[in-house]
Amino acid sequence: MSILEASPYAQVAVGRPLRGEFTYLVPASLRGKLKPGQRVKVPFGRATTLAFYLSDAPPPSAEVAAKLKPIDCALEPEPVLTPDVVELVRFAARHYRYPLGEALKAALPPQLTRPDEEKEAKPDVEWWAHVLGLPSPDELPKSAHAQRATLQYLLAVGRTATMEEVAIAIPGARETLKKLAERDLIRLEARPRVKRAADGLGAERHAVLTEEQDVAVKTLSAELERGQFAPWLLYGVTGSGKTEVYLQLVERALELKKGALILVPEIALTPQLVGRFHSRFGAKVAVLHSALKDSERYRNFQSLRRGEQRIAVGVRSAIFAPVKDLGIIVVDEEHDPSFKQEEKLRYHARDLAVVRAQKANALVVLGSATPSLETLENTNRGRYKSVQLTRRVDDRPMPSVGLVDLRIERPRKRDEPRTSEPPILSAPLREAMEDVLSRGQQVILFLNRRGYDTFMVCEVCGQNLKCKDCDVCLTHHHGSRRLLCHYCNRQEFVPDRCPQCTGPLIRLGMGTEKVEAEVAEAFPAARVGRLDRDAVTSTETLTELLASFARRELDVLVGTQMVAKGHDFPGVTLVCVVMADTALALPDFRAAERTFHLLTQVGGRAGRGVDPGRVLVQTYNPEAEPVARVLHHDFEGFSREELRRRRLLAWPPYSRLAAVRIEGAHPEDTARVARALGKAVADHLPPATHGVRLLGPAPAPISKIKGKTRWQLLLKAPTHAAMEKPLSAIEAMLPDLPSSVRVTLDVDPGAML
């Protein structure tokens, strides 16, 4: 279309939390030059704002045309968002009921979300760090966590590395390297940027694939070479070598001149996987996650957009990465709840990965040892194909799993005071730990609860000590001598007596802090570390702790689900799930599935070296389905029974859900809005024969968080399309709701709390 023929009207999405698209005039200087995904600056109200050109707009009525304002300018000559990403975001905004302009902003690094000119900054040199002499991290102050972790990394990788490589492994390491240089522990040197062997396909690769790995690589490579949309499940037991399959598939994609996108649940908790990609492919890898500096995210984003880097590795937000000629998407640990965004654009990265692969005619590989039931059902129905890895690398045996029935092993003695609890470490667990530690091997103890005592209760009146702003019990943290709310971070001093009746307080429940203390008391010679959000407050301290455990400078690692996230520690031969029951009683239809996933994943940390592994599961509910099935690594049996139960109750994957969450500062207003929304939904429900159900409105399971009263209603339907009218009715009411009440639509919610 010539400039003279180009439409003088443009459809744009404004980067504001407003639903709908807007029409603007196109100045003559821009006609025929704008492309979908291009950033523009437009007048909006009394100011100018960022917007995104979407398409030409049909001529409006004369009355409307007279009121239209012109686009101020285009912010760059080419779109910052590739066409496939624009289409993906448009789908996500429609499906998850979110303003399109805000969704497009979510796909960009921070520098590109403001209406100012794009700034290019690409250095012609790269900086190298060289360790001087024979320094020890112990020479640094204990408070210098970042410097200790960075020096340990350099020593581990051969005493020299690029600043870019270190920054990928340890976000924020650029400034830390400068501090190490000031201490004369390292030397920083600028060199011209050159292509190294690791940047291409010349890096060392896995020597010998197992027979199953070889079949998986050949099968999936054939799909990749077809150049058509193909969704596959890579179902491999823990330790079966799924990562090597990913690496070789990406290698084949590069040979075919295609790009690759690798999604992982949490970058900070999977440094080994990210490190292997960077070691294999070097500077071809761009890492994307929020812990990077804005400038680093911007540089990596632009490098991918220009095609200078062909591989993106990142967390869920990397699903929007502008990878050129996308040929393969890998979602590692696809079952992990971290792939669901819980604020703003509430997308599920695994589901968007399938959509993006479909739009790009790419291969998508969903990898897991415990696939989500949604993915498994898609495989059962033939929508996805699957390939399996049933054995560990080098034919290492799967860890044996034993059950410790706490009803027998941890009974309270008759003369034992009620104010004390039985020991956390059962007799079988103590014996197993003594055996393992005596042989110089390592132990992981898993408990998905932080703190020391998880709640305090009055022995006289029975009242729990609760947070004043949240409807949850306060957790006792022994180290800080505080009661802490894990939802709003409220802290209080530990009272001597009950605030209600002055009765004596009993401390009950257990957290990782208490487990750590009991282990230290039972095994005084053992070196014990703790991995949870309280003990690890930064990426640097996390890296330092994991490195110490990998070097066997720690004997026992106590942790929450952070210890289950894909770590590979060959020295670990015993893993114990201290309490398998913590998640089973949650009011969530996924409670059993999440419990099985966690137990399997944490148990999979055992026996990954030359010595066989052992797993002990302590529980008060040995007959519970996920616990009983884990004993025999019976995911097939568990999933078959759980899918049968879900089908009977019409829960996903046999239905689709949308949660409407209402929260406000005033309980009466919040309840009134919830009931009004419930009536609006009920009025727009299709006939009962369509199978759409409304559950609620009702107070949320946690009825108050951060001082806000919470209600919710749940739509359950056989398809997303069946929920269209009720959800549209709610959206139509949003502008007229009181400002003190906030309503959130969550399509395909990840949790019910």
DSSP per-residue codes, 639-707: HHHHHHHHHHHT-TTSSEEEEEEEEESSHHHHHHHHHHHHHHHHHTPPPGGG--EEEEEEEEEEEEETT
Per the domain annotation, does 279 fall within a domain?
no
284 domain-assigned: no
Rounded Cα distance, 163 and 160, in Å: 9
What per-residue confidence (pLDDT) applies to 194? 47
Stated as kind and residue range, the H or E segment containing 557 is: strand 556-559
DSSP state of 412: P
CA dihedral defined by 696, 701, 702, 703, rounded to 10 degrees? 40
Q: Classify residue 417: in a domain, yes or no.
A: yes
Distance CA 26, CA 151 (A): 55
Looking at the fold, whether 624 and 545 belong to one and the same domain comes out as: yes
Q: For residue 203, is it within any domain? A: no
Query: Please, are residues 313 and 280 in contact by the beta-carbon 8 Å criterion?
Result: no
Residue at 283 is within a domain: no
pTM summary value: 0.85
| Same-domain pairing of 177 and 241 | no
pLDDT at 117: 47
Radius of gyration from C-alpha coordinates of the chain: 28
Are 631 and 531 in the same domain? yes
The CATH number given to whatever domain includes residue 546 is 3.40.50.300
| Structure token digits, residue 393 | 């690398």
Task: Determine how many CB atoms are found less than 10 A away from the CB of residue 552.
Answer: 15
Which parts of the chain sit beneath pLDDT 50?
Answer: 1-4, 117-118, 120-124, 194-204, 418-419
Nearest Cα neighbor of 369 from 239, 216, 232, 210 is 239
The answer to whether the Cα torsion of 290, 296, 302, 305 is positive or negative is: negative
pLDDT at 206: 55
Inter-residue long-range contacts of 178-182, CB under 8 Å, 24+ positions, other chains counted: 179/147, 180/129, 180/147, 180/150, 180/151, 181/129
Q: Which DSSP helix (H) or strand (E) runs through 127?
A: strand 125-131
- CATH code at position 74: 3.40.1440.60
Asked if omega into 697 is within 30° of 0 (cis), the reply is: yes
Considering the domain architecture, whether residues 345 and 478 belong to the same structural domain is answered as no
DSSP state of 18: -
Quickly count: other Cβ atoms within 10 Å of residue 161's Cβ.
Answer: 22
Rounded Cα gap, residues 550 and 568, in angstroms: 8
The 10 Å Cβ neighbour count of residue 742 is 16
Hey, is 493 helix, strand or coil? strand
Q: How far apart are CA 163 and CA 128, in angstroms?
A: 5
Order the strands of the 73-74 sheet from edge to edge: 22-25, 9-14, 47-56, 39-44, 73-74
3-state secondary structure of 353: helix
Q: What whole-number distance in Å separates Cα of residue 81 and Cα of residue 356?
A: 14
Same domain for 404 and 354: no
| Domain containing residue 378 | 210-250+261-267+298-394
The reply to whether 516 and 555 lie within a common domain is yes
* Spatial CA neighbour of 21 closest among 45, 48, 54: 54
Rounded distance, CA 606 to CA 557, Å? Answer: 12
- Token pair in block for residue 371: 């696939």
Helices (H) and strands (E) in the chain, counts: 21, 30
Contacts of 586 (CB under 8 A, 6+ apart): 753
The whole-angstrom separation of Cα 53 and Cα 12 is 5
H or E stretch covering 389: strand 385-389
Query: Which of 394, 423, 442 is the C-terminal boundary of a domain?
Result: 394
Write the secondary structure of 427-481 as one string of H (helix), E (strand) and C (coil): HHHHHHHHHHHHCCCEEEEECCCCCCECEEEECCCCCECECCCCCCECEEECCCC
Q: How far is CA 74 from the centre of its chain?
A: 35
Q: Do 313 and 262 form a contact (C-beta atoms < 8 A)?
A: yes
User: Which residues are CB-contacts of 78 (< 8 A; sequence separation ≥ 6)?
Assistant: 35, 38
Total domains present in the chain? 6
Residue 184: name the closest of 233, 134, 117, 119 by CA: 134
User: Cα dist. 470→118, 238, 420, 538 in Å?
Assistant: 43, 38, 27, 26
Measured distance CA(140)–CA(430) in Å, rounded: 36
* Residue 3 placed within a domain: no
Amino acid at 57: A
**What gap in Å lies between CA 8 and CA 69, rounded to an integer?**
11
433 lies in the same domain as 572: yes
Under 8 Å between Cβ of 546 and 538: no
Cβ atoms 278, 168 nearer than 8 A: yes
Is the separation of the CB atoms in 622 and 630 below 8 Å?
no
- CA gap 427, 411 in Å, rounded: 12
420, 539: one domain: yes
Same domain, 696 and 624: no
Question: What is the phi/psi pair of residue 364, to 5°?
Answer: -120, 125
Residue for token pair 């894909």: 566
Question: Does residue 549 contact residue 158 with C-beta atoms inside 8 Å?
Answer: no
Q: How far is residue 166's CA from residue 242's CA, in Å, rounded to a whole number? A: 25
Which pair of tokens denotes residue 140? 């640094």
Distance CA 316, CA 304 (A): 17
| Structure token pair of residue 142 | 């204990």
282: in domain: no
Separation between Cα atoms, residue 740 and residue 637, nearest integer Å: 48
- Do 233 and 350 share a structural domain? yes
| 695/594 same-domain check | no
119: in domain: no
Q: 710, 564, 659: which is closest to 342 by C-alpha?
A: 659
531, 638: one domain: yes
Domain boundary among 494, 509, 524: 509
- Can you give the pLDDT at residue 546? 81
Token pair for 119: 């700034």
**pLDDT (tens digit, 9 = 90+) per residue, 643-674?**
999 999 999 999 999 999 999 999 999 999 99
Instruction: Say which amino acid occupies 129.
Output: A
Q: How far apart are CA 559 and CA 554, in angstroms?
A: 13
Final residue of a structural domain among 624, 646, 668: 646
